[in-house]
Structure 1
Amino acid sequence: MIEERAKEDVFKEKKSENTVDDVQQSAGEVNGKDAGVNAGSEDNKQIELATKLKEAEETAAGYLAQLTRLQADFVNFRRRMERERAEQIRYANEQLFHKLLPVVDNLERAIEAGKKAKSTEPLLEGINQVLKQFLAVLEKEGVTPLDPGIGQPFDPNYQEALMREEGEAEVVVQELLRGWCYHERVLRPTLVKVGPHATDHQATPETETKDETPDTVAIDNKKKTTGTKEVEK
């Protein structure tokens, strides 16, 4: 009986060992399969990443080439605009000069006619016509004369005083040189003479008597004496 039990125990131990070995072998096979699966998935990921990286590099290269072309186009555009702007500035007054050429032609004709004329009237008339034509061209281009403002208060925005008379009030009493404006901008202010109002210069009987000099009084007395002698004769 003891021997049989011992055999049974040995058989059970071997069986349990075989079972453990089978389990370990099965686990090893499973781990091997998992490792293979993991290795395959890692390879697929690397391939996928490499493909995406290549696509990104190609896209970046395309963007860089496009940016380079755009930059070159912008540089050419800027150079062309600068060249056109320089030409516009250089030839900005071309139309104005074209309109002034007939004025020069008429002025030359007036001078030639004045050389042949016996009097100065035809020459003056021709120059007057040329002046009217020239003023018409200026007015068409927006250049007009400023109002001298005689009798009006002095305005430093449109006038420049070259001469001043004594007095408190500053009123324009004389235009010395005509002023001009281009649209709303002053090209040249009007040169004027400034002084008191005209009423301040009007002479009264008292001032006329006080302002008489000895010479004028002597001349008047001489005229009276001469007149008296003529009457006596």
Structure 2
Amino acid sequence: MAKKEGVVEEPRDAAADLKNEEDFKAAGDTSDEAAAEEVLVETEEISELEKARQEAEEAKDRLLRLAAEFENFKKRLERERSLALKYAEESIIKELLPAVDNLERAIDQGKENHSVEDLLAGVELTYRGIVTTLAKFEVAPMICVGAPFDPNHHEALAMEESDEMDPNSVLKEFQKGYTYKDRLIRPAKVVVAKKAEETKE
């Protein structure tokens, strides 16, 4: 190759070229490492996001199952409550049936023997059976005669003069009152005593 006239080629510095090439390679290696590191960080972040998404899905599924179980529990409870209310009186009825049997026997005995005493004895037996049954269920008659009149427990039908009873106390009872446990289920129908008026002479 012919040398151009007037152009002088400077000698190349081989050592500088070699250094530039090493710098380039080092820079390339560094950028490759940085890129690889960046990809690794992104991959880890994606993996964590995927894990969090999966955990959220599992939590959602558990929540939906729990809600369904709770709804089924509520329905079952309502069904059981409905049945309990429907048949709540069954045990009371079973307890009262012997009293009905006794009453039927008393009526039959009275018809066969034409005896009022037998009929009365059968009715009394039946009455005691019913009262005993009611007591089992904590139903109790109220004792009213002689007690002070209480509008919360007594229904006054009339007032009568009396020298024997204190004024405003129960003189007579027309219909018994009953309590169930600590609750009034029927007030007693009563006559209330009042002070006898003095007769003018």
Residue number in structure 2 paired with 1:81: 77
Q: Which has the higher contact order (CA 8 A, sep 6+)?
A: 2
| Structure with more helix by fraction | 1
The CA distance in 2 between the partners of 1:173 and 1:102, in whole Å, is 35
Whether 2:159 is the aligned partner of 1:161: answer no
Residue number in structure 1 paired with 2:173: 175
Q: Which amino acid counterpart does residue 59 of structure 2 have in structure 1?
A: Y
Choose 52-61 or 20-29, whichever is displaced more: 20-29
Whether 2:32 is the aligned partner of 1:64: answer no
Q: Which amino acid counterpart does residue 169 of structure 2 have in structure 1?
A: V
Instruction: Compute the TM-score of the two structures, normalised by the length of structure 2.
Output: 0.80
Larger Rg: 1
Among all aligned residue pairs of Structure 1 and Structure 2, give the percentage whose two residues are the same amino acid.
35
Q: How does 1:105-184 map to 2 (within 5 A)?
A: 105-150=101-146, 152-165=147-160, 169-184=167-182
1:126 to partner: Cα distance: 1.1
Instruction: Compute the TM-score of the two structures, normalised by the length of structure 1.
Output: 0.70
DSSP 3-state at the match of 1:196: strand
Q: Which amino acid counterpart does residue 68 of structure 1 have in structure 2?
A: L
The CA distance in 1 between the partners of 2:124 and 2:16, in whole Å, is 133
Q: Which amino acid counterpart does residue 188 of structure 2 have in structure 1?
A: T
Gaps of 5+ in 1: 1-9, 211-233
DSSP 3-state at the match of 2:143: coil
Gaps of 5+ in 2: 1-7
Q: What RMSD in Å do the two structures reach over aligned CA positions? A: 2.8
1:142 to partner: Cα distance: 0.9
Q: Which string of whole-angstrom CA distances, capped at 9 and with x for unpartnered residues, describes residues 163-200 of structure 1?
A: 12479x42322222111111211111111112324xx3
DSSP 3-state at the match of 1:147: coil
Q: How does 1:193-208 map to 2 (within 5 A)?
A: 193-197=191-195, 200=196, 207=199
State whether residues 159 and 194 of structure 2, in contact with CA within 8 Å, keep that contact through their aligned partners in structure 1. Answer: no
Number of matched pairs? 190
The CA distance in 2 between the partners of 1:118 and 1:103, in whole Å, is 22
**Misfit runs of 4+, over 6 Å:** 17-20
